[in-house]
Amino acid sequence: MSGNTHNAKLARFAQDTTLPAGYAVLDSLPYPVLLLDSDSCFYWVNHAAESFFQRSHAILVGSYLQELLPVDNALFPLLRRVQSNGNSISDQNIELISPRVGRHLVDVQISVVDNPSSLFCLSLQPKALAERMRGMSSFKGAALSMSKISALLAHEIKNPLAGIKGAAQLLQMELPETGRELSELIVEETDRITKLLNRIEGMASDAPVSTGEVNIHEVLDHSIRITKASFGRHVDIVTKYDPSLPPIFADREMLVQAFINILKNASEAISKAGQITVSTSYSLYAYFAAIGGKKSVHLPLQIEITDTGSGIPVELQEIIFEPFISSKSSGSGLGLAMVASVISDHGGMVSANSRPGETVLTLNLPLQTSIYQAQNLRSDEEVR
């Protein structure tokens, strides 16, 4: 489209401040609704769309959808179909991915607005976060049920743990320097399991998460150390850390348990030799539409754990975080359910993407340090 045509379009949009009768109510809907012309140029957006695209109404109107999404996105063929036949259309699970809008899974509805402007109404109903949050609530409920059973056993488990710790401490005094590292590991792990049992007892009474300042890389390194000393001896573990990440406020022991569960699953998926890659990064685009769609939640601390194992069966990929779901004949199906519960308790998200030879678990957590809060506030002001 030529510059003159675009300028004329902008002028028309600026002058036409009225909307068809009934469209004012669209502004109060909790999901994005936008009006596009035949060139996919924004004519009007509601408040939820401003939040979804992280841009104000003034910036969006007169710009093109093609500027925000790649032209090969599955949304554009749907728009062309509506334009060509004039019939409304809907589709589910359309993935919108670009550096400008992040990554969203949406249900789409497109209809023709019957007026001389030949406008098209496009509604996007984000489903990823809402569905995953509902799922995580059920995972958490299952974890709570399990914890009530575990609470009955916690006292009996703590007694032998105390004996194991005492024996390891006695060994430390007799072992040479080269052998003390493993005995120290036994002591550390018995302490961690004891704290975990205390946490499980607390979960039975819905106790809040006890948070403190945590270095995510120290947590990951400790989890990797446990993995290499036990079930992951046959696996090569590679780390790719972003050293600029600040500390977060979290329950260290809960995160350690979550990462150990993930690493254990990954190690068991690798039969003989393979690799696990643990990477961390700050994601500018990790925005998720909160339940209700009126506000986006930024979860910028991203942890990806990738393994070269056999992968998750296709029929289990959508339900892999549900309790008692496992692809292993001897598996309990509780490990990833606990991971989902822990990450949900920390206000984060977890997802899995798998194919034979590559499984990626992605965890997104919030950052709560003053530096990143200030940056996000500045970003929000720029968007507004």
In the numeric block, the tokens 């009996």 are attached to 156
Number of domains in the chain: 2
Asked if 114 and 176 sit in the same domain, the reply is no
Asked if 229 and 208 sit in the same domain, the reply is yes
Three-state helix/strand/coil letters over the chain: CCHHHHHHHHHHHHHCCCCCCCHHHHHHCCCCEEEECCCCEEEEECHHHHHHHCCCHHHHCCCEHHHCCCCCCCHHHHHHHHHHHCCCEEEEEEEEEECCCEEEEEEEEEEEECCCCCEEEEEEEECHHHHHHHHHHHHHHHHHHHHHHHHHHHHHHHHHHHHHHHHHHHHHHHCCHHHHHHHHHHHHHHHHHHHHHHHHHHHHCCCCCCCEEECHHHHHHHHHHHHHHCCCCCEEEEEECCCCCCCEEECHHHHHHHHHHHHHHHHHHCCCCEEEEEEEEECCCCEEECCCCCCEEECCEEEEEEECCCCCCHHHCCCCCCCCCCCCCCCCCCHHHHHHHHHHHCCCEEEEEEECCEEEEEEEECCCCHHHHHHHHHHHHHHC
Asked if 326 and 188 sit in the same domain, the reply is yes
Cα gap 55→160, rounded to integer Å: 58
At 379, which CATH number? 3.30.565.10
Sign of the Cα pseudo-torsion (297, 342, 240, 132, in order): negative
Per-residue pLDDT 10s for the chain (384 aa) are 555 555 555 555 544 545 555 556 777 788 889 989 888 999 888 888 888 888 888 899 889 999 999 888 889 998 988 888 888 888 877 888 887 887 778 888 898 886 555 788 899 987 655 455 555 555 555 555 555 555 556 656 776 787 788 888 888 888 777 777 788 888 888 888 887 776 655 555 555 667 889 999 999 999 999 999 888 889 999 999 999 999 999 999 889 989 999 999 999 999 888 999 999 999 876 766 554 444 567 888 999 999 999 888 887 877 788 766 666 655 556 678 788 888 888 888 888 888 889 999 999 999 864 334 434 434 443 444
Structure confidence at residue 57 (pLDDT): 87
Asked if 354 and 233 sit in the same domain, the reply is yes
Give me Rg for the CA atoms of the chain.
25
How far, CA to CA in Å, does 137 sit from each of 7, 160, 206, 341, 365?
Answer: 49, 33, 13, 8, 17
Structure confidence at residue 14 (pLDDT): 47
Structure confidence at residue 381 (pLDDT): 39
Structure confidence at residue 321 (pLDDT): 80
β pairing state of 235-240 and 274-282: parallel
Q: Which of 102, 126, 150 is the last residue of a domain?
A: 126
Q: Which of 126, 144, 176 is the last residue of a domain?
A: 126
Structure confidence at residue 162 (pLDDT): 78
Domain extent at residue 286: 130-383
Structure confidence at residue 379 (pLDDT): 45
Asked if 168 and 121 sit in the same domain, the reply is no
Asked if 251 and 344 sit in the same domain, the reply is yes
Asked if 293 and 267 sit in the same domain, the reply is yes
Asked if 347 and 243 sit in the same domain, the reply is yes
Structure confidence at residue 371 (pLDDT): 39
At 120, which CATH number? 3.30.450.20
Asked if 110 and 168 sit in the same domain, the reply is no
Q: Which of 126, 156, 185 is the last residue of a domain?
A: 126
Asked if 35 and 106 sit in the same domain, the reply is yes
Asked if 148 and 160 sit in the same domain, the reply is yes
Asked if 143 and 35 sit in the same domain, the reply is no
If we measure between CA atoms, which residue out of 80, 78, 122, 126 comes closest to residue 102? 126
Structure confidence at residue 372 (pLDDT): 41
Cα gap 188→194, rounded to integer Å: 10
